[in-house]
Amino acid sequence: VQMLESGGGSVQPGGSLRLSCVTSGINYAIHCMAWFRQAPGKERERVATIDKDLTTSYADSVKGRFTISRDNTNTMYLEMNNLRPEDTAMYYCAADRWPCGIASTMDEWGFGTQVTVSS
pLDDT at 85: 97
Q: What is the mean pLDDT of each run of 10 residues along the chain (119 residues)?
A: 94 98 90 96 96 96 98 95 98 95 88 97
Range 28-52 burial, b when 16+ CB lie within 10 A, else e: eebbbbbbbbeeeeeeeeebbbbbe
pLDDT at 27: 83
pLDDT at 103: 79
**Concatenated DSSP letters for 57-75?**
EE-TTTTTTEEEEE-TTS-
pLDDT at 105: 87
CA distances from 83 to 17, 37, 52 (A): 8, 14, 27
Helix (H, G, I), strand (E, B) or coil at 44: coil
Q: Within its chain, how far is the Cα of 98 from the centroid?
A: 17
